[in-house]
């Protein structure tokens, strides 16, 4: 009924289409009895025949993404009973982005009726059925009919005139599977038919029709592969797959090279499924490629590379200052700060990873960098980095700072620890080579395994700074601390201001102009509060108290403005390298792939600096634009600036936990080519040759 209402709503919303449809019936229906007469206590098979107009279709018991199955409501004489409808094997019927399951042409729905033992021989009874169906083309039309069928009570007498028709109808019914079937559900829904003979025969096509809605994504490709012992069909699970219970039920349809069809009833328990597909998806590794130890090593290498990613560059200002302060100092002091920085970075990665894993286990659709999908978090990071810039500029100081040896000692282990924490906070939106596949694998594992991978990531990220701390010769090129360090400290404030400005731009994508106004007001309040606190520190006790209260009130006023950010919502505007870019939806991607068009998917976010660098340095170049136009590539933008469950699922399906992700779907290809996180023009052009 729900699907029927959806289609009736579509009908009402498209009067222009409706005006082009005539009022004649789209389906002509009648009842047909297999026997001329039926004995008392016997049974008779009756067919509901639907003659469907060309170009139109009706629906199977599970109509697919939308629609409604035909219904037969019998009015029978006392003592008579009707069995279930016997549904013929359906077809996959794509309608735009949707996938329907149904029938075209001439359809016979068989149903067995049982006659009571006390029925009187020689009587003729009239069977009555109220029948309704939904018939669809460009629009859907609900139709109904009240049908009658006279049946004579007497010796069994098959009707030779319809015998071939009933035989043909039964040949279209699915049969019990001669092979053991089982399924496995994880990222994919795999069905395994243990049949060496089937593997040798190699059917040219396999399709599965679940008898309940929501078990599979109807519009997603169904991929077939073989092992030496059978056939594996890989499906994209639907929203209700996880709650379907102990068995997977439906119909498996196999098409041979000679065009013959074999339809099998499926009632498959959960069980092991061999790996028939391998573990590659295009040119990028997926979670199936790696083991836990490889994932840990990949995370370690990715953590090292992450230090050079664009989104981490602003925090290198603080690293550079801390590094300069090590020159000329005792070895144990430099090592202590190196370990403190490493501890801050590693613990931050572990904490961040644990939050993601626990949120996902609780059903949340989050991934790497999810915190920057919340405007309040973006504003908080912007204020934090702005405060660091004010500190470096000397607007306020934590503790007394002078030039010389005391400056060399200003950071200390506590400062180094929180420098590590801040570095991770800024690095969180980025993914680096090796790191992306490792994190995608981590989010499919147990909490313990995931934490080992995040530990490897943290150790890799911290290792360059740790090595500099424990290896004195690495710092021998640095001059001794002096006045130059004060100037360097002041200069390094400007990259922090630049990072704060970038975060304000990110906030503009999420909340619009009002959100920017709120955070800029908070910037002014923060700067004023810092100045008030600094200039009153040398006054009397009363003066210091008044200065602190004034600074606190100004700061609270700025924070109050941030609390209004959720009321300043705006739809993020995705940037694109091509003028004809479209917003990504799973249905749009499936529709474009079904039509045989090449598709490039750009999973990006306004807060992802790596994404923006790739956009400007590669995807916006004339050579790339020309290549897209010449090959008629459809460009889809999956904008993850704000939280989007469909895009999170796209990332999961391709073994990733965050952006950027670049996919190229060649026409007819089963799998996309997964491009690297750092794009090159030659790399993109090479991917489009596949």
- CATH, range 2-172: 2.60.40.1250
Measured distance between the N- and C-terminal CA atoms of the chain, rounded to whole angstroms: 45
Distance between CA 540 and CA 679 in Å, rounded?
59
> What are phi and psi for residue 371, nearest 5 degrees?
-65, -30
Grouping H, G, I as helix, E, B as strand and the rest as coil, residue 115 is coil
pLDDT digits (tens, 9 = 90+) for 206-253: 999 999 988 998 888 888 888 878 899 999 998 888 777 678 999 999
> What are phi and psi for residue 413, nearest 5 degrees?
-60, -40
Domain 176-278, second-level architecture: Sandwich (2.60)
Q: Where is pLDDT greater, at 133 or 420?
A: 133
Give 124's contacts (C-beta < 8 A, 6+ positions apart).
Answer: 150, 151, 152, 153
pLDDT of residue 287: 43
Distance between CA 102 and CA 99 in Å, rounded?
10
Query: What DSSP state is assigned to residue 341?
Result: H
User: Quick one: how far is CA 569 from the chain centroid?
Assistant: 23
Q: Where is pLDDT greater, at 647 or 8?
A: 647
pLDDT of residue 313: 58
Q: Which two three-digit tokens encode residue 253?
A: 């349809």
Size (the chain), residues? 690
Distance between CA 220 and CA 98 in Å, rounded?
10
Distance between CA 433 and CA 303 in Å, rounded?
9
Q: What is the mean pLDDT of the segment spanning 552-561? A: 77
pLDDT of residue 429: 62
Q: Which two three-digit tokens encode residue 204?
A: 């040219």
pLDDT of residue 439: 75
- Beta partners for residue 110, in sequence order: 47, 86
* Residue 18 burial (CB count, 10 A): 13
Are the C-beta atoms of 152 and 22 separated by less than 8 Å?
A: no
pLDDT at 343 over 70: yes
Torsion sign, CA atoms 504, 507, 509, 513 = negative
Distance between CA 197 and CA 137 in Å, rounded?
40
Fold of 582-687: Glutaredoxin (3.40.30)
Q: CA angle at residue 85 from 80 to 88, to 5 degrees?
A: 150
pLDDT of residue 376: 74
Report pTM: 0.44
Of the ranges 14-28, 286-300, 463-477, 535-549, which one carries the lowest mean pLDDT score? 14-28
One DSSP character per residue, 479-510 reads PPSSHHHHHHHHHTHHHHHHHHHHHHHHHHHH
Q: Nearest-CA neighbor of 688 among 665, 670, 668?
A: 665
- 176 burial (CB, 10 Å; 0-12 / 13-18 / 19+) is exposed
Distance between CA 89 and CA 276 in Å, rounded?
26
Are the C-beta atoms of 635 and 603 separated by less than 8 Å?
A: no
Q: Nearest-CA neighbor of 103 among 213, 176, 26?
A: 26
The 3 state secondary structure assigned to 508-561 is HHHHCHHHHHHHHHHHHHHHHHHHHHHHCCCCCHHHHHHHHHHHHHHHHHHHHH
User: Which alpha helices (H) appear in 575-618, and where do they start and end?
Assistant: 586-594, 609-614
Pairing between β-strand 280-281 and β-strand 582-583 as defined by DSSP bridges = unpaired
Q: Which two three-digit tokens encode residue 457?
A: 């990531």
pLDDT at 11 over 50: no
Ramachandran class of 50: left when φ > 0, alpha when ψ lies in -120 to 50, beta otherwise: beta
Q: Nearest-CA neighbor of 281 among 333, 327, 215, 223?
A: 223
Distance between CA 493 and CA 318 in Å, rounded?
9
pLDDT of residue 468: 75
User: Which alpha helices (H) appear in 327-409, and where do they start and end?
Assistant: 331-361, 375-393, 405-408
pLDDT digits (tens, 9 = 90+) for 374-417: 677 777 778 877 887 787 787 776 543 333 333 333 456 777 78
* Residue 505 burial (CB count, 10 A): 14
pLDDT digits (tens, 9 = 90+) for 117-146: 999 999 999 999 999 999 998 788 999 999
Distance between CA 479 and CA 474 in Å, rounded?
12
pLDDT of residue 321: 59
- Residue ranges covered by each domain of the chain: 2-172, 176-278, 284-495, 513-569, 582-687
Grouping H, G, I as helix, E, B as strand and the rest as coil, residue 617 is helix
pLDDT digits (tens, 9 = 90+) for 426-478: 776 666 667 766 776 776 667 788 889 889 988 998 888 788 777 766 666 55
pLDDT of residue 550: 84
Grouping H, G, I as helix, E, B as strand and the rest as coil, residue 20 is coil
pLDDT digits (tens, 9 = 90+) for 584-624: 998 889 888 888 899 999 998 877 767 877 888 889 888 88
Give 616's contacts (C-beta < 8 A, 6+ positions apart).
Answer: none
Grouping H, G, I as helix, E, B as strand and the rest as coil, residue 83 is coil
Mean of per-residue pLDDT scores for the chain: 79
Torsion (CA) 646, 652, 658, 664 in degrees, nearest 10: -80
Are the C-beta atoms of 688 and 664 separated by less than 8 Å?
A: yes
pLDDT at 646 over 70: yes
Are the C-beta atoms of 190 and 183 separated by less than 8 Å?
A: yes
Are the C-beta atoms of 643 and 359 separated by less than 8 Å?
A: no
Longest Cα pair distance anywhere in the chain, in angstroms?
Answer: 118
Torsion (CA) 94, 98, 99, 100 in degrees, nearest 10: -90
Q: What is the mean pLDDT of the segment spanning 182-207? A: 84
Buried b (16+ CB within 10 A) or exposed e, 584-615: bebbbbbbbbeeeebbbbbbbbbbbbbbbbbb
Q: What is the mean pLDDT of the segment spanning 521-528? A: 83
> What are phi and psi for residue 402, nearest 5 degrees?
-130, 170
Identical fold between 2-172 and 176-278: yes
> What are phi and psi for residue 625, nearest 5 degrees?
-60, -40
Q: For residue 531, how many C-alpha atoms fall within 13 Å in the half-sphere facing its CB? A: 8
Residue 325's pLDDT band (cuts 50, 70, 90)? low
Distance between CA 95 and CA 138 in Å, rounded?
8
pLDDT at 177 over 80: yes
Give 605's contacts (C-beta < 8 A, 6+ positions apart).
Answer: 369, 372, 373, 429, 611, 639, 640, 641, 659
20-28, Cβ contacts within 8 angstroms, sequence gap of 24 or more: 21/137, 21/138, 21/139, 21/141, 25/143, 26/52, 26/53, 26/56, 26/135, 26/137, 26/141, 26/143, 27/51, 27/52, 27/53, 27/56, 27/58, 27/133, 27/135, 27/143
Q: Nearest-CA neighbor of 372 among 680, 641, 569, 679?
A: 641
pLDDT at 154 over 90: yes
């Amino acid at each position: 009924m729900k699907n029927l209402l959806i289609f009736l709503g579509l009908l009402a919303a498209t009067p222009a289409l409706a005006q082009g449809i005539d009022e004649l019936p789209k389906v002509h229906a009648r009842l047909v009895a297999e026997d001329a007469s039926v004995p008392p206590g016997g049974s008779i098979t009756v067919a509901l025949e639907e003659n469907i107009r060309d170009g139109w279709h009706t629906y199977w018991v599970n109509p697919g993404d939308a629609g409604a199955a035909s219904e037969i409501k019998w009015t029978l004489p006392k003592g008579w009973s009707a069995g279930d409808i016997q549904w013929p094997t359906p077809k996959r019927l794509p309608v735009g982005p949707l996938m329907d399951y149904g029938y075209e042409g001439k359809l016979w729905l068989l149903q067995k009726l049982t006659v009571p033992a006390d029925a009187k021989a020689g009587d003729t009874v009239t069977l009555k059925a109220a029948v309704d169906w939904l018939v669809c083309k460009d629009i859907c039309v609900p139709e109904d009919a009240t049908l009658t069928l006279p049946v004579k009570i007497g010796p069994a007498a098959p009707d030779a005139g319809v015998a071939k028709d009933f035989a043909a109808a039964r040949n279209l019914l699915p049969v019990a599977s001669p092979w053991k079937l089982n399924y496995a559900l994880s990222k994919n829904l795999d069905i395994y038919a243990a049949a060496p003979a089937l593997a040798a025969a190699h059917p040219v096509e396999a399709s599965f029709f679940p008898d309940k809605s929501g078990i599979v994504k109807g519009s997603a490709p169904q991929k077939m592969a073989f092992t030496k012992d059978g056939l594996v069909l890989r499906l994209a699970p639907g929203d209700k797959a996880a709650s379907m219970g102990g068995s997977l039920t439906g119909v498996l349809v196999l098409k041979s090279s000679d065009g013959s069809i074999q339809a099998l009833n499926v009632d498959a328990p959960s069980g092991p499924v061999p790996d028939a597909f391998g573990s590659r998806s295009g040119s990028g590794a997926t979670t199936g490629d790696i083991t836990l130890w490889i994932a840990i090593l990949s995370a370690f290498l990715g953590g090292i590379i992450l230090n050079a990613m664009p989104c981490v560059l602003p925090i290198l200002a603080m690293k550079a200052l801390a590094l300069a302060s090590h020159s000329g100092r005792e070895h144990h002091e430099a090592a202590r700060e190196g370990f403190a920085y490493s501890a801050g970075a590693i613990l931050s990665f572990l904490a961040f990873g644990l939050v993601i894993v626990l949120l996902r286990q609780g059903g949340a659709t989050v991934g790497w960098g999810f915190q920057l999908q919340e405007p309040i978090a973006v504003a908080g990071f912007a204020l934090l980095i702005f405060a660091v810039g004010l500190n470096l500029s000397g607007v306020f100081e934590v503790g007394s700072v002078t030039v010389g040896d005391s400056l060399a000692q200003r950071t200390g282990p506590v400062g180094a620890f929180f420098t590590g924490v801040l570095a991770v906070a800024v690095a969180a939106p980025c993914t680096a080579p090796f790191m992306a596949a490792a994190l995608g694998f981590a989010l499919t594992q147990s909490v313990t395994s995931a934490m080992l991978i995040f530990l490897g990531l943290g150790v890799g990220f911290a290792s360059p700074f740790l090595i500099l701390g424990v290896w004195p010769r690495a710092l021998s090129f640095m001059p001794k601390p002096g006045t130059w360090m004060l100037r360097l400290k002041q200069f390094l404030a400007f990259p922090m201001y630049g990072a704060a400005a970038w975060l304000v731009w990110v906030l503009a994508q999420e909340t619009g102009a009002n959100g920017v106004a709120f955070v800029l007001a908070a910037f002014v309040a923060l700067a004023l509060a810092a100045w008030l606190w600094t200039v009153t520190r040398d006054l009397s006790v009363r003066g210091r108290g008044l200065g602190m209260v004034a600074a606190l009130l100004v700061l609270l006023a700025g924070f109050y403005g941030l609390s209004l950010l959720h009321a300043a919502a705006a739809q993020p505007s995705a940037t694109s390298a091509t003028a004809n870019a479209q917003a990504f939806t799973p249905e749009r991607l499936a529709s474009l792939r079904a039509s045989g068009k090449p598709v490039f998917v750009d999973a990006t976010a306004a807060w992802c600096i790596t994404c923006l660098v790739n956009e400007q340095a590669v995807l916006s170049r004339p050579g790339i634009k020309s290549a897209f136009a010449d090959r008629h590539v459809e460009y889809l933008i999956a904008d993850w600036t704000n939280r989007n469950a469909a895009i999170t699922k796209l990332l999961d399906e391709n073994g990733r936990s965050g952006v950027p992700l670049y996919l190229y779907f060649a026409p007819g290809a089963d799998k996309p080519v997964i491009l690297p996180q750092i794009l090159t023009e030659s790399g993109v052009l090479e991917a489009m040759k596949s």
